[in-house]
Amino acid sequence: MICQQCGKRPATVHMTKIVNGQKSERHLCEICANESGELQFVPGAFSFPNLLGSFFSGEAAPGVPQVQTLRCPTCGLTYQQFTQVSRFGCPNCYQAFDPVLDPMLRRIHGSTTHTGKVPRRGGGKLRVRRELEHLKEQLQEKVRLEQFEEAARLRDQIRALEQQLGG
């Protein structure tokens, strides 16, 4: 695609603007995009490692060693190198960088445990187990809040699911 403004260079910047429900699209080259003033385009400023590096940076939590000193004893990868390449060097890096991985994963994913999806076929028991875990958590919360009628209903659901698993 050729730049819509100059008609000379390839369009590498694609802008979509919606104003009062009206959608307009422009396809510009880097130079015309900078000249338009609507977008400050800096060549090479966006890269995947830079994006992920922004998630990895930050202050260490109390009691966590300084990230600059972390190094994998097996492959020698430093934390600084990890933030640049966004890839571990070996399986032991997970243990070496463990003090900073939990906070980082919480920031990126919102959790440190992978739940994944349950396949529709053959995942029936796993689905029931997850439902059981969820109901047990709800039961504890209802008991804590002294909502005993609701807790009894949840208890009965849990028993029915446990019988379903057992049978």
Place of tokens 């997970």: 94
CA distance 60 to 58: 6
The pTM of the full predicted model, rounded to 2 decimals, is 0.35
Place of tokens 């190094």: 71
Going by C-beta distance under 8 Å and a sequence separation of 6 or more, which residues neighbour residue 142? 148, 150, 151, 154
Of 120 and 7, the structure prediction assigns the larger pLDDT to 7
- For residue 14, the cross-strand partners are 27
Per the CB < 8 A criterion, the answer to whether 77 and 39 are in contact is no
CA distance 15 to 46: 16
The 3-state DSSP class for residue 152 equals helix
The pLDDT tens digits for 46-60 are 555 555 555 555 444
Q: Residues of the chain with pLDDT > 90: what percent?
A: 20
Asked whether residue 33 carries a pLDDT value surpassing 90, the answer given is no
